[in-house]
Amino acid sequence: MKLIEALNIISEISGAEAQPFRVALVSGFTPLHLQTFLHAELGQLFPVHRVEVTTGSYGDLTGTLENLNTNELDAVAVVLEWSDLDPRLGIRQLGGWSPGDLGSILERASIYLEHVGSLMEKISRSLPMVISLPALPLVPIFLTAGWQSSDLELQLKGEIATFAAGVAQLDHVKLVNADRLDRASPPHSRFNAKSEWSTGFPYQLSHASALAHLLATLICNPLPKKGLITDLDNTLWNGIVGEVGADGVFWDQDHHSAPYGFYQQMLKALAEEGVLIAGASKNEPLTVAEAFNRPDLILPKESLTALEVSWRSKAEAVSRILKLWNVGADSVVFVDDSALELAEVKLTHPEMECLLFPYDDPQAIYELVWKLRDRFGRESISQEDRLRSHSIGSRAESGQRSEENGAGFSDALLESAEAEVTVSLRKDANDARALELINKTNQFNLNGKRITEAAWGKYLREPNTFMLTVSYKDRFGSLGKIAVMTGRVDESCVSVDTWVMSCRAFARRIEHQCLKAVFETLRKDQIVFDYAKTSRNGPITTFFSELLKEKPESNVTISRELFSANCPTLFHRVLELNNESPRSSLSEMF
Amino acid sequence: MSHHEARLVKCFRAVFAGLSDEQIRHANSTNVEGWDSVATVTLITLVEEEFGVEIDADDLEGFGSFDSLLAHLS
């Protein structure tokens, strides 16, 4: 991004009436254009907010951290540079480079990093924090010539590495990936000596832009995609299986096909991380089945939750897979070596990201695999991630379909399912799965509202708010945590601000169980929902329509009587999260 | 309006949003609200980026108006 583009973006997005999104940019140098770029990047990523980027005092990174008003902020971006650790590591302060003093730099840096780490630990308890480690080249302070690493320099970098490994363990803290920054901004072209000496801003514009982009992306923390659909011939393997047979397609070094194996390895890893993987191919099913029977396949058939093989269009195959997965096209990536097939799928599913598999360009295949890691990257693998593929696979095998695709399950099936619903009313701002559900769910979603990590923490700290989470399992398997409701309790009623449920949990009457739990535990006779129709929340609209016997408007109110009169039979065994003991009511929790 | 002048107007518009082209052509550090030292540095950096020129830090104070910058670039 050029500076003029950043300034133009800022002037276009500054909507005074929008809800603010406040970020503190903390650095020891003059943030100048970095502030501008960060503002512009965040403005693009948070288009419904009025972004504000505040800064601190020059040369006082720790003082700025100590004085942050965390209640007024939504996130903190800390940009460390060597001169913060010791001014002698910069070019503006002439503290002397006497060889005898060099050891004290290491000592001072160690003490400084310990102090910064403790401040970060304290702040990150209530605010998301993103950190960039020193990215500028070190000044020529050490004894060795520039082509030789000095032991002191290595020790200094070791101090930073130890510090980074420590703060990376903290909840709500994310670090800029140094390798990615290197790719976006080559280390040798980052420093601007003229600007540093004249204004105290040490970066070239290109570096400030690249760094701001990564900081903003970390603050935004984009949600990973849910599924990947891959073509087979000349994509998953080298060759056209219908022509050369199952034994004639390859993905190994011996047959000059290693990039295909590399791609398969990534898909296998993604499957194990909980990403839904499917194949779509224009082929004879029997021929493809033979290929998938090969024991040397790196991505085994079991890793796929669907395999659509026919001579019908790719777009149709993709549609069938989406229906089985019950996820939106915007959550899925499609990979194919044919630009025409990609265009056809894109035409039918404009929200889907369609990526060309560059079969004739190994370097581009390597880049594609990196792109997939970006699309599906996550910090850790949750229980729900592990369960997702299994539950979809079970559904595919049993031919079950979600409520959206047909009638709900019969009473007889639900009764025999031995379903257990675990309800928790523990307010936990660190429950990443709950926040993920709120920010990922589209269909059973009360109003489509998303919430930032910081706003989520603030909301839950308010004394009259509640948070209800629901996990589910039955004799067919576990779905993990699949529903979240948040709201407020006042004297007369319960107001629900957020209510989402995973599409995997449809048709099991879990939504009824949620309401039952709220009536029983919060002991109010009315629940008022901040309902708003969106382009995709048909399932919750249908749910309200069935209860109300009419189409819902905004602020849906459901009374205890109405719910009792229209609630179908519920067969779940209800458990409390904390002790797993069966309870017919959760009222004792309040 | 010359090509240089049009490009310089764009730079001024990016830094001082809301000024008309006419106001920009008569702009100087005394008649434009918000033209402080940070705005000067931003404006000069923008001009360097847009015109591919380098402006000496010692000359910053001499660029206190649209006219002076345009004259330098011409």
pLDDT at A580: 34
Interface test with A, best of B9, B16, B41 (most A CBs within 10 A): B41
Q: Which of A8, A199, A205 is nearest residue B49 as measured by Cβ atoms?
A: A205
3-state secondary structure of A453: helix
pLDDT at A581 over 50: no
pLDDT at A393: 65
pLDDT at A589: 34
Picking from A430, A382, A376, A381, the residue whose alpha carbon sits closest to that of residue A170 is A430
As a dihedral over the C-alpha atoms of residue A524, residue A525, residue A530, residue A533, rounded to 10 degrees, the angle is 140
pLDDT in tens, B42-52: 999 999 999 99
Q: Give the C-alpha separation, B3 to A99, whole Å.
A: 55
- Per the CB < 8 Å rule, is B49 touching A32? no
Residue A164 tokens, joined: 């980074």
Torsions phi, psi for A281 (to 5 deg): -150, 145
pLDDT at A397 over 60: no
pLDDT at A481 over 70: yes
Prediction ipTM score: 0.88
Q: Which of A7, A194, A199 is nearest residue B15 as measured by Cβ atoms?
A: A7
pLDDT at A421 over 60: yes
CB pairs under 8 A between A and B: 35
DSSP string, A277-338: EEEEEES-HHHHHHHHT-TT-SS-GGG-SEEEEESS-HHHHHHHHHHHHT--GGGEEEEES-
- Per the CB < 8 Å rule, is A32 touching B41? yes
Residue % of chain A over a pLDDT of 70: 94
Which range is least confidently modeled, A236-245, A370-379, A392-401?
Answer: A392-401
Does the predicted model carry a pTM greater than 0.90? Answer: no
Interface test with B, best of A1, A5, A7 (most B CBs within 10 A): A7
Specify burial of residue A91 (Cβ count, 10 A radius: 0-12, 13-18, 19+): middle
- Per the CB < 8 Å rule, is A4 touching B57? no
pLDDT at A400: 47
Give chain B's residues under pLDDT 70: none
Bigger pLDDT: A391 vs A209:
A209
Judging contacts by C-beta atoms under 8 Å, the chain A residues touching residue B45 are 3, 33, 195, 205
Give the start-end residues of each E strand in A370-434.
420-424
- Strands of the sheet containing A75-79, edge to edge, are A49-55, A19-27, A75-79, A129-132, A173-175
Q: Which of A4, A194, A198 is nearest residue B46 as measured by Cβ atoms?
A: A4
Q: Report chain A's mean pLDDT, rounded to a whole number.
A: 90
Judging contacts by C-beta atoms under 8 Å, the chain B residues touching residue A194 are 57
pLDDT in tens, A516-573: 999 988 999 999 999 999 988 888 999 999 999 999 988 899 999 999 999 999 999 9
- Residue of chain A whose alpha carbon sits nearest to that of B37: A199
Picking from A342, A362, A324, A323, the residue whose alpha carbon sits closest to that of residue A231 is A342
pLDDT at A382: 78
pLDDT at A215 over 90: yes
Chain A contacts to B (CB-CB under 8 A):
2-4, 7-8, 11, 32-33, 36, 194-195, 197-199, 201, 205
- Per the CB < 8 Å rule, is B57 touching A36? no
Torsions phi, psi for A151 (to 5 deg): -65, -35
Judging contacts by C-beta atoms under 8 Å, the chain B residues touching residue A199 are 41
Q: Calculate helix-pair angle for B3-15, B66-73, nearest 10 degrees.
A: 140
3-state secondary structure of B13: helix
Q: Parallel, antiparallel, or unpaired for β A49-55 and A75-79? A: unpaired
Q: Give the C-alpha separation, A330 to A442, whole Å.
A: 11
Measured CA to CA in angstroms, residue A298 lies from A232, A247, A250, A290, A367 at distances of 13, 15, 11, 15, 20
The H-or-E segment that residue A371 falls in is helix A362-376
Map out the domains of chain B with their CATH numbers.
3-73 (1.10.1200.10)
Measured CA to CA in angstroms, residue A476 lies from A21, A333, A398, A406 at distances of 44, 28, 10, 20
- Per the CB < 8 Å rule, is A205 touching B57? no
pLDDT at A584: 36
Chain B: closest CA distance from residue A113 (Å): 30
- Per the CB < 8 Å rule, is B42 touching A3? yes
pLDDT at A452 over 50: yes
Paired with A474 in beta bridges are A477
- Residue of chain B whose alpha carbon sits nearest to that of A36: B42
Chain B: closest CA distance from residue A117 (Å): 31
Chain B: closest CA distance from residue A106 (Å): 34
Answer yes or no: are the C-beta atoms of B42 and B15 closer than 8 Å: yes
The H-or-E segment that residue A477 falls in is strand A477-489
Q: Which residue is it, tokens 């072209």?
A: A189
pLDDT in tens, A36-87: 999 999 999 998 889 999 999 999 999 999 999 988 999 999 999 999 999 9
pLDDT at A398: 54
Q: Give the C-alpha separation, A129 to A38, whole Å.
A: 14
Model confidence at A588, pLDDT cuts 50, 70, 90, reads very low
Chain A: closest CA distance from residue B32 (Å): 17
Chain A: closest CA distance from residue B40 (Å): 11
Residue A162: CA atoms inside 13 Å, Cβ hemisphere, count? Answer: 12
